[in-house]
Amino acid sequence: MKRMNLGSSILEVPVMAVGCMRITGLQEKEAEVFIKTAMEHGANFFDHADIYSGGESESLFAKAIGMNDSIRETMILQSKCGIVPGKMFDFSKEHILESVDGSLERLKTDYLDILLLHRPDALVEPEEVAEAFDILQQSGKVRNFGVSNQNPMQIMLLQKYVKQPLIANQLQLSITNANMISAGFNVNMQVDQSINRDGSVLDFCRLNDITIQPWSPFQYGFFEGVFIGNKKFPKLNEVLDELGEKYGVSSTTITMAWLLRHPAHFQPVTGTMNLTRLEDCIKAAEIYLTREEWYEIFLAAGNHLP
């Protein structure tokens, strides 16, 4: 698995992360095989959140792998906090500290490599976030920090007070959910595609050495389903299949390769618990699409060039 530095940090990570949101859909032994297979392929970056299955995703992960100090040192663990499901978002100092302690206990580890703030809190007091981050860093509980689903101004507001560099921003991005890319083609145009919905977050993150971690790389809409093999996207699937045949890989691999081809150096987060699909995702690190192929896929998804 190819590796890269995460954001402006010296932390070297695989070019894709293994998402663990759905791991509770596996039995313990299945989860063990899944985790070990990922690691055997060099995919040792695992993405969690305190709310995934009410914390059970983190607990099952640690139990399945038999977490101990020697195993812990072979992997990179990222978790997220800030969502109180169905009630509110909470970036208070107290909530951040309690959430991290909960994740550490469930994951059976003393530290997280990365902590992300999950979704923007309208009542955020950045001074409190800064205090929480300082406590977590000084205590050794968290080594690096980032955000999720935030626009440039929200990041800048936090960074004004937070001493630690924010090195990652986890955002929804796929071939069919590519507004952060398509808006850049339509500057000063009177078309829907020109609407800047995210404050030019793609360019902002590139300018500030923040790694974008695309989530739901195979989904269209907001968890409406996957586009691979979907009759709603005949042209896209035709192109993915043709390129898959050319490179001797699956359409899943080509889809992930499309994200990895972008010069922003995205770190996509896989969401599958299927070993075959996981291995197909991992193969994408070895595929380098041509410029023509990248654009062909982009247009086949229904995106437009002016």
Q: What are the domain boundaries of the chain?
A: 3-300
Measured at the CA of 63, the angle between CA 47 and CA 146, to 5 degrees, comes to 20
Question: How many whole angstroms separate alpha carbon 118 and alpha carbon 194?
Answer: 27
In terms of Cβ atoms closer than 10 Å to its own Cβ (0-12, 13-18, 19+), residue 231 is exposed
CATH of span 3-300: 3.20.20.100
What's the pLDDT score for residue 136? Answer: 98
Instruction: Quickly tell me which residue has 């994740």 as its tokens.
Output: 103
* Average pLDDT of every residue of the chain: 97
pLDDT of residue 298: 97
> Using an 8 Å Cβ cutoff, are 226 and 220 in contact?
yes
Cα dihedral 232→234→236→240 (10° resolution): 120
Residue spans of the chain under pLDDT 70: none
Query: 225: exposed, middle or buried (C-beta count within 10 Å: 0-12, 13-18, 19+)?
Result: exposed
Q: List, for residues 89-107, the tens digit of each pLDDT value.
A: 999 999 999 999 999 999 9
Q: Which two tokens stand for residue 139?
A: 């205590």
Please list the alpha-helical segments (H only) found in 44-107: 56-65, 69-72, 93-107
> Do the beta carbons of residue 3 and residue 12 sit within 8 Å?
yes
Q: Helices (DSSP H) in 69-213: which residue ranges?
A: 69-72, 93-107, 126-138, 152-161, 179-182, 201-207
Predicted confidence at residue 90, as pLDDT, reads: 98
Query: Please, what is the Cα angle at 65 between 60 and 68, to 5 degrees?
Result: 110
